[in-house]
A = this chain, B = another copy of it.
């Protein structure tokens, strides 16, 4: 196959070494471009196993279009340990969540999108896409230069802008994450909800076509803005450019055997996009709107016995977890006196749970999907 390797410096360390991104791009015949990255959160490793499996598989076939792979998209985060665990969720210096400071480039750059739409609304969609991508490329270059010039390029900006800039060339963007202790699930924007079923995840979280700082959003927002402005001018288009976050199980885990199965979801999407040959299929799945995706914050501090695992269903009234307060033991009835229950207030499915049984009041205990709608094939 025709592979290209590139390196991008992202962070010069205090000791003078420079951490770099390494991108692996494979090109086939004319066709769409796909961008696949893993480990924006440093402890979320499984996506790298999926990338290896997919690279391997692609060497055994033909592709249309091109794919760029970025394993270990945030090496500073992956290398940051305290104890044996990885502090990959937030920047250890500033505390910023690595996946909440991507920028809505159209807004922050103050690009004249209305002017652009007026000039280009007549173009057929496949040409409009090309012109818009070319504009985006220039917008990122200018914005980046301005930040450097004014020394406003902060901790996360450089990495974020570099990833967004690379992703802005793509027709499909897959950001591979994991939860803490988690089942497999997918984030999809409303406008992508239909396509999302080709990724064959059992649980799909539908997020608004809006911006909250994550990579997937930063990649689809330019197209959402364009879609909205076109609509305002009377042209209705659902962009055939998607950006998803794929959650492959639990953090700190790297399993090649599971990756061999995980890769199937991406392969199916690549079939849908026409990058790989073959008929894509769909599976029965569940969708949940973001407003029904609930975090249960710990109402108490204590040692926690979790009664449900990620992927399990629960019903209203079920005891989801028991808290034990060991400063509060009546020795004549030690278990009952120290225990209190956290009960489910409605039916749902466990998606994530806290990986520790030592929990302070207010920590995230579970994240659950409620009010799921079923999608039968």
Contacts and interface: CB of A to CB of B under 8 A. Distances in A.
Most buried by B among A91, A252, A255, A334: A334
Contacts of A362: 11, 153-158
A330 B16 CA distance: 14
Contact of A16 (B85, B152, B326): B326
Contacts of A297: 151-155
Interface in A316-343: 322, 324-329, 331-335, 338, 342
B52 A84 contact: no
A95 B85 contact: no
Nearest to A343: B151
Contacts of A310: none
Contact of A322 (B155, B256, B364): B256
Contacts of A93: 81-84, 360, 363
Interface stretch (A41-49, A215-223, A276-284): A41-49
Interface stretch (A203-211, A225-233, A349-357): A349-357
Interface string A283-311: 00000000000111101111111000000
Copies of this chain, how many?
4
A39 to B, nearest CB: 9
A302 B12 contact: yes
B357 A326 contact: no
A16 to B, nearest CB: 3
A151 B327 CA distance: 23
Nearest to A44: B358
A316 to B, nearest CB: 14
Nearest to A5: B331
A314 interface: no
A253 interface: yes
A26 B43 CA distance: 43
A49 B11 contact: no
29 contacts: A3-B331, A11-B301, A12-B360, A16-B328, A17-B19, A17-B327, A18-B301, A42-B358, A43-B356, A43-B358, A45-B357, A48-B324, A49-B324, A53-B335, A59-B332, A71-B329, A72-B326, A81-B356, A82-B82, A83-B93, A93-B363, A148-B299, A151-B345, A155-B297, A155-B360, A155-B362, A158-B362, A254-B305, A256-B322
